[in-house]
Structure 1
Amino acid sequence: MDGVEAFNSLPAGKLEAELLAVCAAPAWGSAVAALRPYRSRDAVLAAADAAARGLSWPDVLQGLSAHPRIGERAQGDSQEAAWSRREQSTAASSGDDDTRAALIAANHAYEDKFGHVFLIFASGRTQEEILAAARERIGNNEALEREIVAGELRKIALLRLERLLDALD
């Protein structure tokens, strides 16, 4: 059985839990689950992409609720925490103490301005790259930043969904 067949055959409760670990926005998971069965991996990813693009801002905020601050280690032994640690692994191992301190300060400044964690697709990025992005995005207005955050959440969800499908192979 390949990953898509396994995905299609997961019991509803198990699928819901898996999709919430991928993206903590229940509306996203419901939209993806509702279109089963899928014929291909591309079809699953296309549906997930469309579902992410259709999220309201309150849905995006629900998705953000499961993400730790960038540079902070996700706690726990859940799949979601493991993915977060993996996604931030390059950033966690790069940078010096000054960069880490500046990233913490940028996180707080961002949260003070926007009221939620700074979210970025961190896979493969260094702390220096993430810090530069945080500093740049602090200058954004609310509307632009919401658009960017929704896009970053979408990219993270798609990467995690690919990993879920790989794990089900």
Structure 2
Amino acid sequence: MNAAIRTIHLTPPQLAQICTSTSWQQFMLAHMPSPDYATFCQSADVAFAQLSESDWLEAFAGHPMIGDLDTLQKKYSQGKHLSEQEQGEIKQASKAVLHDLLYYNQAYLKKFGFIFIICASQQSAEQVLEQLKARIKNNRSDELMNAAIEQQKISRLRMESYQ
């Protein structure tokens, strides 16, 4: 017996919790309702493929810095519970690792002009720090692409709750 296929129709606040790019949200709204989860995901992929650099930067700005739990609580109350889940392993880190995360995140922001974006779900703070140290060596265009890929992973995880 087949499970019933569920139509997906999200509101602007729900879409904003998935991705804070206004262009992405507008595209998704224009393609609502989605007849099923697979179509919903395809629409999201098409929307992501159309984003400009400024759209990506807007999406990145919707995330707290990895490991900056104070900022997470103060600034990002809209998607706080989602970011807390995604950074769950980070909260278990030692003070030294959290200090290094904050230090390298600030250096990354200064170098690239946007925060370090990584799908941290199921990763330890040490693993995230290792990737941050590796990616900070990249040039800006490569790192913008890496961050966009990670943004899409994060968004896909958030979309799963509408499956």
Paired residues for 1:1-169 under 5 Å: 4-5=6-7, 7-8=8-9, 15-73=11-69, 74-75=72-73, 78-93=77-92, 95-163=93-161, 165-166=162-163
Structure 1 stretches lacking a partner, 5+ long? none
CA contact (8 A) 1:90 1:126 kept: yes
TM-score, with structure 2 as normaliser? 0.88
TM-score (norm 1): 0.85
Structure 2: 5+ residue stretches without partners: none
More helix by share: 1
Q: Which amino acid is 1:151 matched to?
A: I
Distance in 2, matches of 1:43 and 1:22, equals: 16
Aligned identity (percent) is 31
SS of match in other structure, 1:121? coil
Q: Deviations for 1:60-87, whole angstroms, at most 9, x for unmatched residues?
A: 1111111111012212584411101110
Query: Following TM superposition, by how much is the alpha carbon of 1:96 offset from its aligned partner in structure 2, in angstroms?
Result: 2.0
- RMSD of aligned Cα (Å): 1.8
Tell me whether 50-59 or 80-89 shows the greater mean CA deviation: 50-59
User: 1: distance between equivalents of 2:133 and 2:5?
Assistant: 39
How far apart, CA to CA, are the structure 2 residues paired with 1:113 and 1:160?
28
**SS of the counterpart of 2:119?**
coil
Higher RCO structure, 1 or 2 (CA under 8 Å, sep 6+): 1
